[in-house]
Amino acid sequence: MTKLLITGGAGFIGSTLVRWLLSPDAALERTQLDLRSLVVLDALTYAGNRANLDPVCNHPLLRFVHGDITDAVLVERLFREEEINAVIHLAAESHVDRSIDDPAPFIKTNVEGTCRLLETARRLWPRGAPHRFLHVSTDEVFGTLEPGQPSFSETTPYAPNSPYAASKAAADHLARAYHRTYGLNILTSNCSNNYGPCQFPEKLIPLMILNALEGKPLPVYGDGGQIRDWLYVDDHARALVAVLLCGTPGEIYTLGGGPQLTNLEIVRMICAGLEKRRPCARGAYADLITSVPDRPGHDRRYAIDSSRAHRELGWSPRETLASGLDRTLDWYLANRPWCDAITQATYRRQRLGLG
């Protein structure tokens, strides 16, 4: 019987995972897990949104807890009260620009918070128990790729280039150490750039969509030639459950969507998609594209080799970039109240000096 804790479950990826796992589409996976309860722990910082869970808020398996993964008392109480025997750890500070401005919150959440969860599991889970802990990480821990270099894989050496990436790399190493030293059934996944509904609007794709609709500049770093691998968020959710169910403890699984496009190409695709759905009132959306100074230490290229996940887990993305982007554009056009609420909340937090 699985009693699952999902940290960061009100965020973009976490809430997608929760909604999917409690949907009719995941009936088989719930049966395979023998899912008896699902606890979401989220601090509801700027990127967490309780409304993301509204479609499943009354589901009998779901319990939401507002709290921080660095709160030792709370974490231990949840593990004990809910008899947690599986964790999908998604809670993280994840925006590179914010980490450049102030690395401290990234160390606190990504390193100290991960250590708190691992330590609680170590103390409360009997040694040798089949309990599972899936630590969700990023491809940014591997650094940058030059043109023609092979894609990142499970054996790629770590070379983080931003405070965010360094904090996630530290968390990955802690997860590995708790498996090797204490025998916890740790699994780690490293994913490429996610996109889709409910993504916080400071990320590239939703930022470009909302700025374009409001007639604002579409800021592109430098020459826009940074190459990224894009993974639709629903496909990532399915992959995480596959790793939890079928992954080998102590192993890493790299998860990517496949297509590699430059940021400028992605922005132009967004502009073209919006023109078909809601033509620009003045000129063309592409006219709003504006080059801005590049961020310090900006990685030039990411790409993911997902062959191990395909081979061992039977997972592969269902959405192409074109179909996933279509679904994303349609969602943002149909859910402007959600976007407006996020924007207003962010403005209020900035006025209060909360980030």
Q: What percent of the chain has pLDDT over 90?
A: 85
Please give the C-alpha separations between residue 102 and each of 22, 94, 138, in angstroms, as whole numbers.
36, 12, 19
Q: Is residue 121 part of a domain?
A: yes
Query: What pLDDT shows up at residue 281?
Result: 86
Q: Is residue 324 part of a domain?
A: no
- Whether 354 shows a pLDDT value over 80: the answer reads no
Q: Is residue 343 part of a domain?
A: no
Q: What is the mean pLDDT of residues 113-128?
A: 96
Domain membership of residue 244 as a residue range: 2-195+232-257+301-318
Q: Is residue 248 part of a domain?
A: yes
Residue of 42, 82, 164, 235 marked catalytic = 164
Residue of 42, 68, 140, 235 marked catalytic = 140
Residue of 139, 172, 234, 299 marked catalytic = 139
Query: 139: domain CATH number?
Result: 3.40.50.720
- Whether 349 shows a pLDDT value over 70: the answer reads no
Is 139 catalytic? The answer is: yes
Q: Is residue 86 part of a domain?
A: yes
Mean pLDDT, rounded, of the chain: 93
Query: What pLDDT shows up at residue 346?
Result: 55
Residue recorded with tokens 């079928």? 246
Query: What pLDDT shows up at residue 188?
Result: 98
Give residue 350's pLDDT band: very low, low, confident or very high (50, 70, 90).
Answer: very low
Query: What pLDDT shows up at residue 16?
Result: 98
Structurally, the chain folds into a number of domains equal to 1
Query: What pLDDT shows up at residue 341?
Result: 80
Q: Is residue 265 part of a domain?
A: no
The Cβ-side half-sphere exposure at 175, using a 13 Å CA radius, reads 29
Q: Is residue 32 part of a domain?
A: yes
Query: What pLDDT shows up at residue 299?
Result: 85
Q: Is residue 215 part of a domain?
A: no
Lowest mean pLDDT among 210-214, 229-233, 339-343: 339-343
